[in-house]
Structure 1
């Protein structure tokens, strides 16, 4: 694109390379309203081009009255055919100086801190890696004064997280920055371009239907394109589920007030994918979490036996499906499947749930149902569970899952765990009956095998 000056002479390109010095290249300055003090300020607009990238529009506003300022960028091009994802391994302080174009549709993540800036929550920015970190810190610090007065515990947690973000700028340890933009208009500088950057990975992806709607590329009622999207392989849908938390409306199981349930597909190392669902009620504070297997029922059942010999065993990750029974032979204790539902927790968390179910929340320890003998037995049982959690009592904990969908972490993986055994076994008829497998038929549904339809009234009269 070129521009024609007032005297009719054709000038150079409207978009000038970023960082180019000299010449009479000046930004366009316009008077505009300050949204902070509602007086007149000045906005500067510059059309520029980033090498090895594309054209962008940089706008900067400043107010001489209240000194409020704001800077943002917009893409001067169209939305790209594919989304783009930049994954940068920040290893040195020089990496913090890399220029970054973050469009407002981009998601920014730092996996090591479980930190994420969702799309459309910040305006687009032309900055550096260090600038993105400073902007994130400023956003978190913005309402800290009010939080300290209303919710001091939350403010303290945010202060600790802010310190972690600030520490990243020291680059004492390597961390990862991920910028994922479905519009394809974000950018992370490659300082050795056009050569390959070993620390930077760039990948492109096809947008989901939801991302297209967020970008305004399709309407909610665009049924034809919706049907085309549904014809895509199921793998694309699973990939989308792995990268996002799905939220749907539900009612609190405790007070029946409207609540939200979060659902995410998670890959457990050395095991399989599971679906974790969590519900938090803002009305009564009730919290529930539940785990479902992401795959089919296994061909064989699984029996996992762990010999608890050290307090560190209580930190092992554990997945208990709703079909899993729990046994502690030393206490002659057995808890049938579905008693505490599906859970993804630690071994200590499971023992705590057992104690809550059998002792703390047992309905038979109060009212007319309680007896001194029963209370004493439950008290002794609770004390034994406390000893197990403290590592003062050596026991075996058995997870017996006929569906084969339970898991206990092997801390020696991929080597065998000397304190844990995993046994595969063939289910009995009764176990298959409990799982609903005996009457399940998934093949052989051919037209000739279907029963004949009942005779019509006319045919019956003729006979």
Structure 2
């Protein structure tokens, strides 16, 4: 049975709806299911919805009326991401315990202060809060305590003491750290200060190891460089002069789609790879830009002072490792938030507004919190003022990989309103780019 109806193909009805008490169609799908506890028939409720600043998910809840057994799970409705993700949250107050968390079943959860870890694949995926994660971990440890008290009293006593320490975390008498490490990239921790930067939360992306790819069921590419060298049409001159096409799946509906790819030379910069995907099934379109060269020796920080509305027409390349800052709005967009883009400054600002304002389902209905909707809408108006030239701001592109670019309209002369700084990357930035473990000397 397909979850996508005829209206979905035309774009009239969304499969993943925004949560709202006023939407009559926002009802879960109920399916009769077998209870694995008493083997009688129960019911499973499925709800397809969105997480703000994140992606689509499927929430399922099972209830058995015969034995009163219940179970809830969450599954990502998207594909496995290109990179894994690590969220590190510094829990400083009880308000932090209310942050929403999407924990995929492939994620590992750690609390370093207690030397505590929940390994991957030992729990089902869940949509909860920080407090809910702690309670679930304590309940999991308490489950086998009666058996341990009968067979291994000393072990049971130690676990009781540890459970007390775990439950005391909910009082937040001292700060502690929560780390969620997910190779699939499908876990998420809420930023309640969005669209501003969250000082207590750090997000880093990493390249998966072959072992992690194997556990996620991903295949490695068997083609070698020698094989590619023998295939006709793979030289760089041929790639520059033609558009390559390969088959893929749509990121929205997972239907077969095609992706076009072409090498483009940016004046006064370097070559980039532009990729565009069109889906004939649901009409979804997406484009992405990747650097065609290597990671630069130095990071690049580009600062542009907007003094005229004509600045909106400047071409820019934002790589997937580049963050965007607008100090006057106290706004920071982390790397990989909107992917790599080759667009204009106006196009980038509109993408930021669409991401923060239009795609945020938590500003309407029962899911809205007091003041959040007004805060988000006010930010959208400020972006409009920047685009129209009514607001004097600075746009900063900070790319540790050095693969981002903004057009100099005075080229080859210096641009009086734009500065380009080169800087040495920190150890943490090299770690995020995967350079610390990369060895190229004496390689055999």
TM range (shorter): 0.3 to 0.5
Point out the structure with max Rg over C-alpha.
Answer: 1
TM-score, normalised by the number of residues in structure 1? 0.46
TM-score, normalised by the number of residues in structure 2? 0.48
